Amino acid sequence: MVNCHAPMLNVLPPPPGLGPWVQGAVVLRSPAHLMGSCFPAQASSMLVIRLAGSVFVEGPSPTHRYHPLPAAALIPPSTRFTCYAHEGSVHAVGLVLQPATLPCLIQGSAAGWADRHLPLADVPGLCLPTLMDALHSATDDLARMHLLFQCMRQLVRHPRHDTRRQRLQHLGNALGNDLPGAASALGVSPRQLQRLSMSGFGLTPKQYQTLSRLRATLASAWCQPTPGLLTGADMAVTHGFFDQSHLARDMRRLVGTSMGTLLQHAGKPDSPHWPLDAGTRFS
């Protein structure tokens, strides 16, 4: 198990054979004084089970009230940053899923699922009461993460899921590398490319590409051996943004803050930006 900078957080890479489906497992044990969490927009989905504490998710506009997040939820991709409010000490375990995993879990199209929350009880083939009992009875968090890995193996074990995942992974690679040429490279029309991306990822091709670039940029910023080794302009161009201003606009829209402010929070105990601290461990 990898202990991140913040003592409340632990992450674990997936076991052999599960990497194509799962980026890693995360355990959060937040103190009562951590009043919230800030998640960036992302192409990945998350499977989250909360064992203690209460969490409320903010609506898409400031006028919307926070509403309760289900204790066991599948959180699809997001096209905007999301703020969660905590009540009490929160203990949660979860999996960060690869982008191609979502339609295999829900056994259908991912179109329309972005920026929503699906109760885990609605996931086909998952016996949630049995899983919850096992998680509560587990001896420690490491055992709980392995239980989630085991559960995921069962959910995606049918060969048809792997066939679909491979097709979607190929699509994702095309979208991330060269959006104008993706349709030609895949032998489909631009309209078909749009439908494939929405069905597979719940995102438009442009949204998928932007979120992929953002993830790579954030991982690069975290992994610099010396702060400031790469300038913002260098980082923007390296990861496919037009310039530093383009990156700054996307940071505000998709992460909710500037790169400089974000890096000031990196690794600090009890930072509300702990999801980025965890996510960069899987990059």
Euclidean distance between CA atoms 236 and 274, whole angstroms: 23
Number of H helices, E strands in the chain: 11, 9
Instruction: Look at residue 239 in the predicted model and tell me its pLDDT.
Output: 61
Say what the pTM is: 0.89
Euclidean distance between CA atoms 202 and 250, whole angstroms: 19
Instruction: Look at residue 225 in the predicted model and tell me its pLDDT.
Output: 45
What residues contact residue 120 under an 8 Å CB cut-off, 6+ apart? 47, 49, 70, 72, 73, 74, 126, 128
| DSSP track, 57-68 | E--SSTTSPPEE
Note the pLDDT tens digit of each residue in 12-55: 999 999 999 999 999 999 988 888 898 999 999 999 999 999 99
Q: Which helix (H) or strand (E) holds 237?
A: helix 232-238
Q: Work out the pLDDT band at 8, boundaries 50, 70, 90.
A: confident
Euclidean distance between CA atoms 143 and 248, whole angstroms: 40
Mean pLDDT of 141-152: 97
For 274, the token pair is 């702990």
Q: Which residues on adjacent β-strands are paired with residue 48?
A: 73, 94
**Model confidence at 195: pLDDT above 80:** yes
The CATH code that applies to domain 1-283 is 1.10.10.60
Euclidean distance between CA atoms 50 and 37, whole angstroms: 14
What residues contact residue 189 under an 8 Å CB cut-off, 6+ apart? 183
Q: How open is the CA angle 60-65-67, to the nearest 5 degrees?
A: 90
Which of 281 and 206 is assigned the larger pLDDT?
206
Q: Work out the pLDDT band at 61, boundaries 50, 70, 90.
A: low
Q: Cα dihedral sign for 101, 81, 118, 32?
A: positive
Q: Work out the pLDDT band at 6, boundaries 50, 70, 90.
A: very low
Instruction: Look at residue 63 in the predicted model and tell me its pLDDT.
Output: 60
Note the pLDDT tens digit of each residue in 219-258: 777 665 445 444 566 666 566 666 777 787 888 888 888 8
Left (φ > 0), alpha (ψ -120 to 50) or beta: where does 228 sit?
Answer: left
Half-sphere exposure of 102 (CA within 13 A, CB side): 29
Instruction: Look at residue 240 in the predicted model and tell me its pLDDT.
Output: 65
